[in-house]
Amino acid sequence: MAFDLVQYFVEQINTQRPELLSQFSKEEKRHYISEINALTLGELITQWRANDKKAYQEITQPDELFIQEVARHLTTSKENKSTLPHTELESTTVAIFGLQLAELKQLHDTANHNLHSIRELLLGQVEHLAGMADDWVWSTNNLLELKGSKPFIEDEISLEASMKEFNDMVNQHSDHKQVEIIQSIPVWSKILEPIVALIILWFLYSMACNIFA
């Protein structure tokens, strides 16, 4: 399994660029950074698949114009459904993509990587990206095999709600049983009920008469 660049980049973004999206809550900031991190890393993987030599050159010799072009391409795509305002979306995308390329260059230079080892590293990130973003991200950067990879998380049900649901189920089951019992009583028994009652009353009356005679 390739080294996890996805989480590594998120940590580096938070450490090196803490001012990014600082106007948002901690949870919102985490969400947006994770989203754009997946968007730009996925785009780099797509570009590598299309032309590995060009992508390798952009990693080893980062170019500001290339970074801006990629950011503009991603943020103006009709598939991009980010809820960030466009200006902030583009500037943040530029910052994150630029940081990713800088980190990859540093990793390349310090660890003596080459085109083949960078290929293995980058293409190995697909498994780390799986489930990390909504489908619009993968439609935007054309990493289509990851569409549908984000798991659906149901809202947690409280213990009180669970107990109520259980009690309702039990009560409904009990009511159903009572209806079944009532329905199972034969019709002829209901007809004989008054006759049986009269016979019992006549028997009790006869016994009383014999006692007091």
- Residue 156: which pLDDT band, with cuts at 50, 70 and 90? very low
Residues in CB range of 118: below 8 A, 6 or more apart: 56, 59, 104, 108
**Which pair of structure tokens corresponds to residue 4?**
């996890």
How many CA atoms lie less than 13 Å away from 171 in the CB half-sphere? Answer: 6
- Mean pLDDT throughout 5-34? 96
* Residue 167 predicted with pLDDT over 80: no
Max intra-chain CA distance, the chain: 126
pLDDT of 45-98, one tens digit each?
A: 999 999 999 999 999 999 999 999 999 999 999 999 999 999 999 999 999 999
pLDDT at 157: 44
| Alpha-carbon distances of 168 from 36, 87, 180, rounded to whole Å | 46, 52, 18
Share the mean pLDDT of the chain.
86
Residues in CB range of 127: below 8 A, 6 or more apart: 1, 2
Residues in CB range of 10: below 8 A, 6 or more apart: 33, 34, 37
Domain ranges of the chain: 5-146, 159-212
Note the Cα 81 to chain centre separation in Å: 16
Query: What pTM value is reported for the model?
Result: 0.72
pLDDT at 151: 79
61: left (phi over 0), alpha (psi -120 to 50) or beta: beta
